[in-house]
Amino acid sequence: MQFKSILIAVAALAGSALAEASTSSLQATLTSTTQIDVPDSCSFGNGYTATAQVDLDTLKHCDAIDGDLYITGDIGSAAIANVRAIYGDLVIYNATAISSFSADTINTITGEFRLTGLTVLDTLSMGGLTSVGAINWVTLPALTDTGLTSVTECNAILISDTQLASLNGINPTNVETYNVNNNIFLSSIKSDIETVSNALSVAYNGQGTDVVFDQLTWANNITFYSISSVSMSNLTSVNHSIGFFESKVEDLTFKGLSKVGGDLTMSNNDLLTSIDFDSLESIGGGFVVTNNSKLQSVDNFDELKTVTGAVLITGDLANVSLPSLKSVRGAFSLDSEGAADCTPFDELHDSGNIQGEYLCKAAASSSSSNSGSSSSGKKSTSAKSGSSSTDSGSSNSKGAGAVAFSIEYTSVFGVFAAILFSLF
């Protein structure tokens, strides 16, 4: 699946971005961190590397470590005793024989807690950890439990390619990035996160994941792939884009969402039958509803007044109703196999309130059309030859098919680009 491979690439790049994050910036948001005096013998300006348990045992006199701690090599199991805080990163990598790691006395890691490519690690015990700059766990195919109890502060979360069945113990209130993907046994994600300042992404976990973020009030970007259901009852604003792709969701209900600053996209959701965004007033990017084979109505958008980008709606749609729509600055393309009514959109176009290229086709439509009837019996209108589409960035020389192609793929990959660049 091409999108899955893209997502894996995004996850890898996200891991790299997290790895290069500034420790000082991570420290700044860990408000519960208590400074512990660090003696010179526990301060490592260039980091400390352990390749055997004896190397870790030499740290047991340290209440805290100042510097990055690396665990690597042929070590089979590892444990850290007595240490309460690491002012830096804790990284375990290239330790293909390690099967267990425990450090239950550690309550604070100001930098990253990174586990990478640990193919036999099946036991993790970090029950005392409450504050961590970033969790970055990638390729842990034997890990079935987080080993965490009460992480309430964490700036960035990336968990990819594990056997985790739950994310118990990871429940911060505010994060910059939340990316959980390709964890084949993860069937549900429930979190009390309230804000996501960069990107929230859940993709390809199990056969479809039930997602509950009922405390979330706003996020910068939201992307869902291959989920079964989603609940975000308190979401009021998305600064950039929100998209739902290749999922088994039957309904998408976001009654409190009033603003989307970028794209709103619903594409290739084969079981989707109902969408409800009845408080949404504006979309700052494109509005895309395509290839949702069971969806018959695009309505419950009663307050939607403006779409700054393009509109692309396709499917076997009996009803497309946007009663408050006043302005579309980009192109508009509605192509329905059902009896959707083009009349209100014809009127919007004729009054100059659709500024880009225009196409509206529907079976047995009762609307009049600037270009007349097609041979198929559908009604179709297209942009007037003298009209301009400067705001949408497209020219009138494009055909309707080219417009549709451009809108759809720009919207899909635009979401990924937004996520990726926000991580850097």
Q: Which of 107-116, 261-270, 309-318, 404-413 has the lowest mean pLDDT?
A: 404-413
Q: 422 or 333: which carries more pLDDT confidence?
A: 333
Report pLDDT for 33. Answer: 53
Length of the chain: 424
Report pLDDT for 363. Answer: 85
Q: What is the pLDDT of residues 195-230, one digit of tens each?
A: 999 999 999 998 889 999 999 999 999 999 999 999
* Mean pLDDT score of the chain: 84
Report pLDDT for 337. Answer: 93
Q: What is the pLDDT of residues 377-386, one digit of tens each?
A: 344 444 333 3
